[in-house]
Chain A
Amino acid sequence: MSQLEELKKMVNFNDGRIDRRIFWEDWVYQLELEKLFAKSWLFVAHESQVAKPGDFLTTYMGQDNVIVARHKDQSIHVFTNSCTHRGNRICFADRGQARQFNCNYHGWAFGTDGALLGMHEEDHYEGHINKSDWGLQNARVETYKGLVFACFDDEAPRLEEFLGDFRWYLDVILDQTEEGTEFIGGTMKNMFNANWKFGAENFIGDSLHVGWTHASGAKAVTMGGEVPEYMPVDPESFHANANGHGWEGGVDGLGTLALVSSGDPTLVEYFEKERSNMAKRLGDLRARKLYGSVISATVFPNFSFLPGINTMRTWLPKGPRQFELRSWTMVNKNMPDNIRDIVQKASSITFSPSGIFEMDDGENWENATLSNEGVVTRKQSLHYGLRVGTSRRDDPDFPGNISRPMYSDVNQLAFYQRWMDFLTADSWGDIPKVR
């Protein structure tokens, strides 16, 4: 059986069964790098991180290290961070200001658009190099309301088409105000000995882990007060997915804001006041019922966020059994300092490596990955069969594929459907534009 045929059998979308080898095998991982990460649009930065010409940061697209830089003409460029002479890394800083990037090895210099500008002792090269042929590999770059995405594949559709109906959901956090959003400074980084997909699929739809995995965090927040023993099933809560991107959560407009407030009414009061302005931009449904609810979301393949808690994060693959999490807190530019401070602290105390919620996730994902070292263990497939096949595309209120309530594996399977679309396609021509 060819690898491709073997791969196609690894996810049974009708029954909701997944072969554990997708979280373990090196060959599956190599396919992910070649056919997914080198072909898909990927989140690389927020515009506020490279606000001025010369601002740059370094990050990864798959395992390709890239420089994201604001060029002097204000355009944002994303290019490989590896010298075209001997391959050495060019930029070793996480972020900063640069007019050009000089390779430490032989002094080859590249512009903030990735072009080769020159080199040390350049006279020797006269007649031996056409510099315009030896720039760094630029990715395509497009932005969506402050978020910068890049893509290494010329055949990929425009970013707007890639995001599709999911833009309606992204707007809930990106388009609340005229002024837009920004990331607070610095980047939180930490490592997990786990497969990157566990982070992405957890945020895209895993409502059921919240009440159990995070019971300790929920009890801490109430400081010994009343905690419901189980989460009541709100029949209005939902899974939404579009093109492999997904959003899961409630419609009470309050759950997350109450959670991060820990009894301090300041944040809730601020947003109650802001909601009428938000509603002018987003409509009542999104401004009053979605924003503030307990929600988590993933932009396919590896960018996730929590509206309200405002942690934004990317799961960077480092092999089938390791990933690096990079995370930021996003705020509205027009937030007063005290609200910004509350959001920042709330994000840190709940969803950061030391956060009382996030702290419990890593051990689950690591051991869900590492238990597959057992050859017998690895042969038993996993259950992804909760409310499979219940999503509908014709919801009167919500775009995308909708399933209710939010306790299901619907979004997770939609994520793996998109994942399978990419891994089994020779080119973008084989990938459905809409899912």
Chain B
Amino acid sequence: MGENTKMQLMSESEQMMLWYQVNKFYSAEARALDEEDYASWFNMLAEDLQYWMPVRESLFRKDEEADSVKNMNHYNESFQSLQLRIARLHSGAAWSEDPRTRYRHLISNVEIEAVEKKDEIAVLSNTLVYRNRLEREEYWLLAKREDVLRQVDGSFKVVKRKITPDFSCLMSKNLNVFL
């Protein structure tokens, strides 16, 4: 049975309920990231997480190629390596995060694409991340997210996330944020 066929077998109200649950999960995740509540965020991630954000380039259409983790990546992370990144922030010595950066994550265009395994779903979404820092620093990041979410205890955990940014040159001095 094709994956999308499985989605079609769900009733409209079942699909609506799933869409509502996913949106509720994404709102909670966005709030955790806005508030730098990484303990809560890690509870939303599976321990076998693959978290990937490739670098984009401007290529002629004929030269376009599939993204590969073998090329330069903004992120190519496991659960453990994300913890290492967060440990920097919690070290008490991240001078460039004090005063804190003001973050806002907006998640929209949520589409549940297919049900891969019995307890997993594939979800497409767009994210708009706003960063404001110190006096006048202001940066916007837009990206597509392709997730695999696992249903656990009435909620979800992110198993896979591919973040495809819409920039080729990051317009800021660093990428001190998760998307």
Q: Chain A residues in contact with chain B, CB under 8 A?
A: 92-98, 184-194, 213, 215-217, 219-221, 223-224, 262, 324, 327-329, 344-345, 348-349, 352-354, 356, 358-366
Q: Is the CB of A220 within 8 A of B85?
A: yes
A-B contacts, CB under 8 A, total: 137
Q: Chain B residues in contact with chain A, CB under 8 A?
A: 54-55, 57-60, 62-63, 68, 70-76, 81, 83-85, 87-89, 91-96, 168-176
Q: How far is the CB of A66 from chain B (nearest CB, A)?
A: 16
Which of B54, B60, B72, B94 makes the CB contact (< 8 A) with A216?
Answer: B94
CA distance A186 to B168 in the complex (A): 10
CA distance A362 to B96 in the complex (A): 9
On whether A190 and B173 interact (CB within 8 A), knowing A219-B93, A360-B94, the answer reads yes
On whether A349 and B172 interact (CB within 8 A), knowing A94-B57, A186-B55, A216-B95, the answer reads no
Q: Is the CB of B72 within 8 A of A359?
A: no
Q: Is the CB of B96 within 8 A of A184?
A: no
Q: Is the CB of B84 within 8 A of A184?
A: no
Q: Is the CB of B76 within 8 A of A348?
A: yes
The 9 closest A-B pairs by CB, nearest first: A362-B173, A219-B91, A220-B88, A186-B71, A215-B93, A186-B72, A185-B71, A96-B63, A190-B170
Instruction: From A186, A217, A223, name the one whose CB has the most chain B CB atoms within 10 angstroms.
Output: A186
Interface of A is mostly: mixed
Q: Is the CB of B58 within 8 A of A93?
A: yes
Q: Is the CB of A217 within 8 A of B71?
A: no
On whether A93 and B60 interact (CB within 8 A), knowing A190-B170, A191-B171, A362-B173, the answer reads yes
CA distance A352 to B72 in the complex (A): 10
On whether A190 and B169 interact (CB within 8 A), knowing A95-B59, A184-B72, A219-B91, the answer reads yes
26 contacts between A and B (CB under 8 A): A92-B58, A96-B63, A184-B71, A185-B68, A185-B70, A185-B72, A188-B72, A189-B170, A190-B169, A190-B175, A191-B169, A216-B92, A216-B95, A219-B87, A219-B93, A223-B83, A223-B84, A324-B169, A327-B72, A328-B72, A348-B73, A353-B172, A359-B175, A360-B95, A362-B173, A362-B174
